[in-house]
Structure 1
Amino acid sequence: MAAAEPVKINKVAILAAILRRNALRREAHLPLLDVLALYHKEVAYRRSRALHDANFPALRAEVIERLVAVRGSEFIRTRPGAWMVHTETSRLLRERFSI
């Protein structure tokens, strides 16, 4: 599998949304949000979501091909087979892209 392309994340929009939320909280006299922590959390979430969306189908096809070779084509149509495909695909995604 080729190296992952850099993920494009609109960090300005993320920060603007957090600052808008904080402004509303300030007007309502509520405790303010930890802007830096929320910003890093949202950037990490969007990065992992983008990597998932871009790579999950190809990894899933790879896992299915491997399982069909070992267990036969009928296995992936069973509930345990579907579970194994999803679990193994998720594991590969975390392993290869550190998410």
Structure 2
Amino acid sequence: MEHSDWVAQKRDEARLALTIELRREMEHARTRGDERRVVLYANQLLQADPLDVDALRERVRAAAAGARRPSWRATRPSWAGSFTRQVTTARSERASRADSITG
């Protein structure tokens, strides 16, 4: 076995071990109802394999479940409110321009 084959084999083994551990931790977080951790672990799985449909589904499910909880909105990052205001302002400006053109 060449050195590069050995390295590739070890890399694949490490990636598999990481994936197994992340799935296990994601399951534990789900059973505890810790949706934030589920999203975190799913994101890490998706970094390892962007085509992991199960991880993507779990991420979407957990994010939707967490978004329904008031505590998530209260503890969102400080930039989130500013970003939301910027998007809302840009949308209203765009609507105003469209009205002035058509009106």
What is the TM-score with the length of structure 2 in the denominator? 0.30
Indicate the structure with greater helix content. 2
Q: Which of 1 and 2 has higher RCO (CA within 8 Å, sep 6+)?
A: 1
